[in-house]
Amino acid sequence: MLSKTIQEALNKQVALEAASSQAYLAMASWADIQPGLQGVADFFYVQSDEERVHMLKLIKFVNERGGFGIVPHLGQPIITFVSLKRVFEEFLSHEIKVSESINDLVHMALQEKDYATHNFLQWYVSEQIEEERLARTLNEKLELIGEDKSGLYLFDRDIQAYRLQSEKKG
Ligand code: OFO
């Protein structure tokens, strides 16, 4: 059975994952209407779906452990961006925020001796390492490319290929 504190904290994480899904959907939609950014758009559409899955996993876990997974209210995320660089900076800072929140949750689970929740959260810990690493790499690439059009063309192509690869791996 979940304690009230853990339940509330997990539901906050539900809201954060849902907000991530919305934020990435907005990035996808923005990229979708820019010329030549189809790869970026597809990347964020899939990213948004993944965040929804992260949210669902949490809701189901809370319910399984005798709590109530709460579907959150959502505000509108940032929907337009001044540049592609801005999109990816936003992506990285969002992922850092999520990692911090997961770390706080892990800490709380240990303090409360809730080892089942602690164990459940390990999946999120690994996931955040991956996502942060990916977001950092993409930011570094964009930094190198600067305003170079052919570089941006390759970036868009590569990010699409990356997505297809990771989908195959499951
Ligand atoms: Fe939910 O993994 Fe990123 O935010």
**Closest residue CA from atom 1 of ligand 1:** 51
Ligand 1 site, residue 13, Cβ cutoff 6 A: no
Give the whole-angstrom CA distance, residue 29 versus residue 163: 17
Domains and CATH numbers, the chain: 4-169 (1.20.1260.10)
Taking the centre of ligand 1 as the mean of its atom positions, its distance from the CA of residue 134, in whole angstroms, is: 11
What is the atom index within ligand 1 of the atom nearest the CA of 54?
1
Distances 118 to 36, 65, 122 between C-alpha atoms, Å? 43, 13, 7
Q: What is the pLDDT along the chain (170 residues), one digit of tens a residue?
A: 899 999 999 999 999 999 999 999 999 999 999 999 999 999 999 999 999 999 999 999 999 999 999 999 999 999 999 999 999 999 999 999 999 999 999 999 999 999 999 999 999 999 999 999 999 999 999 999 998 999 999 999 999 887 777 777 66
The answer for residues whose C-beta is within 8 angstroms of residue 19's C-beta and 6 or more apart is: 72, 74, 75, 77
Ligand 1 site, residue 132, Cβ cutoff 6 A: no
